[in-house]
Structure 1
Amino acid sequence: MNNQPSTTRFTAPDLGPAEREQAYSPSSCIGGDYRPFLQQYQQRSDAARVLPHQEHAYGGLPRQRLDLFLPEQPQGAARPPALLVFIHGGYWQELSKESACFAAPACLAAGHAFAAVGYTLAPEASVEQIVQECRTALVWLQHHADRLGYDPARIVVAGSSAGAHLAAMCTLRGWPHDSGLPAGAVLVSGVYELAPLVGTSINTALGLTRDSASNVSPLHYSLAGFARTVLAWGEIETEEFKRQSRAFAQALQAQGLPEVPTLEVPARNHFDVVLDLCEPGTLLGDATLALLASV
């Protein structure tokens, strides 16, 4: 990747090991048990996957696959639909595309296509390799847009938690030929500077060093030319997750992005805020639908 480093840096507070562990454990705000939310992802995704959809391989590895949902288009439609590409979270080491389809029904109802991207999980893959896989998926989706039936110029990438990090990395300029770059991004409860994870239990599977964390931290790159972006997080999140999102918003604005909507969603936590994606009448849903309609 050919992208000049950014002068913007995330200024983290001086936390001890135990404090940092808690600060980057999003379940610490909800009593420690996040499994009910993962069950919601799966249940809603199972219901969504009853809808007609296609599974495609964008690479040769078992998890390099995506699920694509297409809306019914009226005859004589002026243009193909936009596509929302969702990258799941799970700290790069859990979840799957099969549990990442929950936004598809609302997305289709608004007239847009939806894709859920799978990727190889850590420790089988490094974070850098996972970034490359997600980039490959976006390039594949752009190259096959005309055949599959959505607009290659109207692709918006979205992600939650680790998925927001991956979506941000995929939106950076400086990739070879800048192929497959999305027209917009929706980043929910992300981590954009990974160095604080080194020394936490999260890093056991990731194996990040200070140097490798820097190489995959969006805040360490120039954000010039970054796509139009919505940043969101839940009210019930750790201060470090909120600080990460605010720092990324400030960095985007410093690079000249004229408007960066930042949404702290009341009464939502790190795990359930993303369930509002594409849901009309919610802060995150309305912002996502507005971005999709305008690209």
Structure 2
Amino acid sequence: MDLRDDPTEGLSDEQLDLAYNVRRKAGPERFAALMKRYRADSDAAVDGLPGTRDIPYDERGGERLDVWGTEDGEIRPVFVFLHGGYWMAGAKEDTAFMARMLHGQGIATVVPDYTLTPKATVEEIVRQVRAAVAWVWHHGLEHGLDPQRIVVGGSSAGGHLTGMTMVEGWQEELGLPADVVRAAMPFSGLFDLRPIPRLYVNETARLDQESAVRLSPAFQPMERRFPAVFAVGEDDGEGFVEQSRRFQPHWGDGELLVVPGRDHFDVILDLQDPDTQVSRALLGLFATLREDLT
């Protein structure tokens, strides 16, 4: 698949909406129920779990992150998870549901907030999540986090933001090594933003074709490759499935994981159980990092 091919070419606005409007596909009742479950499962996951809430990570943006699953006297590898919501919704409190599972596997979890659109531009959100990764590198040891073993993941818009931490060209400005992100697992990622200007979400994202290309992981420099899993639900929106299918071979050092019986919203909830496909894949990435350091 040639990423230079425009994924919107020949598609009507209605066809694009069907491909990318996963909230419409889920229906209002199921969507509302899943959003409640995100918060309830996250609350349950961190209840009694060692960690620290609301740590400022970015002076310029004023945003904060939570650290979960650390242990005194240990330096743990860390999963940085970036929430979805088409850059206009979501919060760190809704997306910590994997923290207890990872804690049991000796892995800490970091969940950052970022300023939502339209208050912030997508470009500013990218800057903020990169600043969150930089915080883990520069300050993680103070919180029991291993800066040498950072894996970044995220869902939907968070998958896009994950992609923007995987590429090159931003690390040096933040005082980071080129390999600060050692592995990645975007879920239902948006790697080519050219469809966005024609979607309803552009009422807040406010992208044109030029900015959509500039902010697309698919068009960023990426000479360095590292292990990655590109996960998507079998029943996800067609646009999201196609995005992962197109980007994974372009990345070249990663696995495409299409999860049967899962859709855009429930595939990430499988991270609560260590025996699901997505959890095994994520834990496999951390196992790879252990091998690299031995």
What is the TM-score when the length of structure 2 is the normalising length? Answer: 0.90
Considering Cα pairs closer than 8 Å and 6+ residues apart, tell me whether 1 or 2 has the greater RCO.
1
Unaligned residue ranges in structure 2 (runs of 5+): 290-294
Task: List per-residue Cα deviations over 1:244-280 (Å, max 9, x = no partner).
Answer: 0011101111xxx3xx111111111100001112621
In the TM superposition, 1:82-101 aligns within 5 A as: 82-101=77-96
One-letter code of the match for 1:224? E
**Is contact 2:3-2:247 (8 Å) kept?**
no
Matched with 2:244 is 245
Alignment-derived partner of residue 264 in structure 2? 270
Is this contact kept in 1: 2:20–2:239, CA < 8 A? yes
Q: Which residue of 2 aligns with 1:35?
A: 32
- Alignment of 1:107 with 2:106, yes or no, is no
Shift of 1:100: 1.1
8 Å CA contact 2:97, 2:272 repeated in 1: no
Conserved in 2, the CA contact under 8 Å of 1:84 and 1:292?
Answer: no
CA distance in 2, matches of 1:70, 1:31: 34
How many aligned residue pairs are there? 280
Match of 1:21 in 2: 17
- Contact 2:152/2:183, CA 8 A, preserved across alignment: yes
2:117 equivalent to 1:118: no
User: Quick one: structure 1 residues 163 and 136, their matched pair in 2 at CA, closer, same or farther if it must change by over 3 Å?
Assistant: same
* Superposition RMSD in Å: 1.9
* Structure with the higher fraction of residues in helix conformation: 2
Q: What's the % identity of the aligned pairs? A: 35
Q: Which amino acid aligns with 2:214?
A: N
Tell me by how many angstroms 1:139 deviates: 0.3
SS in 1 for 2:251: helix
State the match for 2:170 in structure 1: 175
Q: Any unmatched runs of 5+ in structure 1?
A: 1-6
Q: 2-side partners of 1:270 and 1:98: how far apart?
A: 19
Q: Which deviations, in whole Å up to 9, do the C-alpha atoms of 1:228-249 show, x marking residues without a partner? A: 1111100111221111001110
1:279 aligned to 2:276?
no
Distance 2:214 2:93 in 1: 29
Deviation track 1:21-58 (CA, whole Å, cap 9, x = no partner) reads: 12110134333541211111100111123223212100
SS at match of 1:86: strand
Does structure 1 conserve the Cα–Cα contact (< 8 Å) formed by 2:20 and 2:238? no
Residue in 2 that maps onto 1:294: 288
Aligned-residue offset at 1:72: 3.2
